[in-house]
């Protein structure tokens, strides 16, 4: 990432000191969701998210009951993760990350779609 390579790099999403993506991405919570001591998943959160959404997208082409149920459960759990990260953003960093907020809204929309799909197919 450019942010890790160049100390002077300023992303376009860094509007001011209160609206800053780099503050979040450079922090301890920017890799492995801040669970570095507990887990070995110390990849950048963005990379983990890209893999998650790619797998989610690919699995959405199948209409298997168990796969749809797994999507619903995983999406529910990751929605709690979004709440955790949003809490950190507001109450630990006192920051507003535009990229983070966009992802939280997208994930909330995805959760609603997964619930609708599950109800349509299996209820």
- pTM, rounded to two decimals: 0.85
CA distance 43 to 75: 20
Dihedral sign, Cα of residue 35, residue 37, residue 38, residue 39: positive
**Residue with the two structure tokens 């168990």:** 66
Structure tokens at 36: 């570095």
In a structure prediction context, what are the per-residue pLDDT tens digits for the chain, which is 123 residues long?
666 777 777 888 889 888 998 888 888 888 888 887 777 778 889 999 999 999 999 999 988 899 999 999 999 999 999 999 999 999 999 999 999 999 999 999 999 999 999 999 888
């Amino acid at each position: 990432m450019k942010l890790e390579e160049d100390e002077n790099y300023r992303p376009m999403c860094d509007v001011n000191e209160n609206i800053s993506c780099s503050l979040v991405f450079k922090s301890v919570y920017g890799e492995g969701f801040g669970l570095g001591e507990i887990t070995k998943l110390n990849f950048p959160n963005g990379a983990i998210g890209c893999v998650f959404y790619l797998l989610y997208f690919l699995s959405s082409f199948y209409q298997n009951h168990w796969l749809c149920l797994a999507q619903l459960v995983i999406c529910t759990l990751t929605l709690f993760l979004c709440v955790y990260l949003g809490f950190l953003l507001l109450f630990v960093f006192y920051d507003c990350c535009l990229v983070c907020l966009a992802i939280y809204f997208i994930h909330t929309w995805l959760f609603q779609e997964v619930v609708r799909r599950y109800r349509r197919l299996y209820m």
